[in-house]
Amino acid sequence: KAGVTQTPRYLIKTRGQQVTLSCSPISGHRSVSWYQQTPGQGLQFLFEYFSETQRNKGNFPGRFSGRQFSNSRSEMNVSTLELGDSALYLCASSLGIAGEGGQETQYFGPGTRLLVL
C-alpha cells in the first residue's frame, strides 16, 4: 500500500506570494493533519481535517488555511508569505480520528520543504 504522498517536495517562493501544498493520504485513510517543522520551533500542529471538515486548528495566523476533498486528499495554502514561513511542511494521515479505538495513529509523508526568499 502506498504511503502518504506530498507534492511538491521542494518549493522556492518570494515574500508576499502565496503557495499551495498538496497531500494524498494512504488509501482508506479519512483524516489528514498538517504540521510545520522548523529548527527553532520544532514540530507544530497546523490543522486536522476529517470528512472535508476542519476538526482542529493550531495557533497559526489566518494566512494558513487548508481544505480536504471528498477523496480525502488535502491541500494547505499560505498567503502573503513571510520569511519565517520557511519550513518543512508535513502531512500525516490516519484511518480515523481520536476516540475511534486506535484508528487515529498518524502516518507521515516525506514533507514539502518551502523556502521563502
Partner 1 sequence: AQSVTQLGSHVSVSEGALVLLRCNYSSSVPPYLFWYVQYPNQGLQLLLKYTSAATLVKGINGFEAEFKKSETSFHLTKPSAHMSDAAEYFCAVRTGANSKLTFGKGITLSVRP
Closer residue to partner 1 (CB): 68 or 94: 94
Binding part of the chain for partner 1, among 12-20, 69-77, 79-87, 109-117 by CB under 8 A, reads: 109-117
- Half-sphere exposure of residue 93, counting CA atoms within 13 Å on the CB side? 25
- For the record, the C-alpha cell of 75 comes out as 491541500
CB of 91 to partner 1, least distance (A): 8
Q: Taking CB under 8 A as the rule, which mask of x and - marks residues 68-107 in contact with partner 1? A: ----------------------x-x-x--xxx--x-xxxx
* 34: contact with partner 1 by CB under 8 A: no
Closest CA to 9 of 117, 95, 89: 89
> Contact 93/106 with Cβ under 8 angstroms?
yes
Amino acid of residue 94: S
- Give the Å distances, CA to CA, from 92 to 16, 23, 78, 81: 27, 8, 18, 23
Residues of this chain that interact with partner 1 (CB under 8 A) are 4, 6, 31, 33, 35, 42-43, 45, 48, 55-56, 58, 90, 92, 94, 97-99, 102, 104-111
